[in-house]
Structure formats: C-alpha cells, structure tokens
Amino acid sequence: MESPKIILVDDDPDHLLVCKLIFERRNFRVHTLHGFDSTDHLIDRVKELDPHLIFMDHEMPGIRGDVAIKALKASPDTSHIPIIYFSGTNDIEELARHAGADAFIQKPFMIESLVSLAQKYNLTAPKL
C-alpha cells in the first residue's frame, strides 16, 4: 500500500520543516512548497505531484493562500483535492470559508490536531 501524499505550502521554512517531520514520522509522503508567484505555476506543480491533500498557508509573498485555494478549486485538474487552510490569523475560519477550503487549523496547533485533520480525509499511512 502506497503512503498518502501531502503538499505543504508555506513561506516559513521552519514551519514547513516541523510539519514535514510530523507527517513523515507517521509514514506520509510530504512535499514542501515555498509559495508561488503565479497560479498557473502552482496548478502545474500540484498536478505534477498529484497529492491526496494540501495544507495551505494564508499570508505569503506572491500569491496569498486564499487566491491559491480559489485557483486550485476552480481548476478541473485539482478541484477534487482537499485543502486545509492554516494560519496564525484570528479570522482563519472566515478566510477558509471565503476561499473555499475544505477545513482549517489555526497556528500554533497541537500535533495530533494536525494529524487528525489528515485522517479526516481518510489519509492514514501504513505502519512500517
């Protein structure tokens, strides 16, 4: 059984590293992306990686998370991929709803809350 694939999009390299380690220790395959300057480039990269789930940060240089989510949800090639919006802003729930995200989590978060969100989308990695 192949491990589920997750994409983490954030401009904070420390946050990407921590989240990547959390998921990799639970046998997920993880790709980290440091944000994008165009929605076309983002969509192409997501299509190439073909993830089961995306975690998207809100405040990033270039394309903000809400713009990225709207573009991914509007593309027939990526609209089926669940996207979890994560941010330290207090209005993340409202931002997620307006962007069309499937779920949200506010930073800082508990590790198990992050993992349980992935599991909500039936993403349970096989035990090694």
Q: What is the pLDDT of residues 70-127, one digit of tens each?
A: 999 999 999 999 999 999 889 999 999 999 999 999 988 899 999 998 888 876 656 6
Q: How far apart are CA 22 and CA 16, in angstroms?
A: 10
Give me the domain span that covers residue 89: 5-120
The C-alpha atoms of residue 30 and residue 37 are separated, in whole angstroms, by 21
CATH number at residue 16: 3.40.50.2300
Residue 127 within a domain = no
Residue 126 lies in a domain: no
Looking at the structure of the chain, the number of domains it has is: 1
Structure tokens at 8: 């983490």
C-alpha 69/C-alpha 39 separation (Å) is 9
CA distance 106 to 85: 8
For the chain, how are helix, strand and coil distributed in percent, rounded to 5? 40, 20, 40
What predicted TM-score, i.e. pTM, was given to this entire model? 0.93
Domain-located, residue 125 = no
pLDDT in tens, 32-59: 999 888 999 999 999 999 999 999 999 9
